């Protein structure tokens, strides 16, 4: 019976820790949203800022690979400056 009580206490502690972290996560998300709104209010393009934040999370090799694939796809579609589309 005591083991069951210990397990219940542990479970309750885990749940409560998760709930606290979820609350903190929501507060941080709200703060980030405010920063984006402030940037937009100052004339910055928030879509581009979000993309930069995403790119900065990548390591250099991952970023280079992504840029190479993007360049390849754009070239295939004739969307790269200086590339003639033979369609």
* Secondary structure class of 44 (helix, strand, coil): coil
| Helical packing angle, 46-57 and 2-41, nearest 10° | 130
Q: Is the pLDDT of residue 83 over 80?
A: no
CA dihedral 30, 36, 41, 42 (to 10 degrees): 140
Q: Provide the whole-model pTM.
A: 0.69
Average pLDDT, the chain: 92
- The residues, any chain, with a CB within 8 Å of residue 36's CB and separated by 6 or more, are 46, 49, 50
65-77 as b/e: b if 16+ CB within 10 A: eeeeeeeeeeeee
Domain residues of the chain, as ranges?
1-44, 45-80
Encode pLDDT of 15-58 as tens digits: 999 999 999 999 999 999 999 999 999 999 999 999 999 999 99
pLDDT(1) > 90: no
């Amino acid at each position: 019976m005591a083991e069951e009580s210990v397990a219940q206490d542990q479970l309750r502690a885990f749940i409560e820790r998760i709930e606290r972290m979820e609350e903190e996560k929501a507060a941080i998300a709200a703060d980030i949203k405010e920063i984006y709104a402030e940037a937009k209010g100052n004339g910055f393009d928030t879509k581009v800022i979000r993309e930069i934040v995403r790119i900065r999370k990548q390591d250099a090799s991952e970023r280079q690979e992504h840029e190479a694939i993007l360049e390849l796809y754009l070239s295939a579609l004739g969307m790269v400056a200086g590339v003639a589309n033979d369609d």
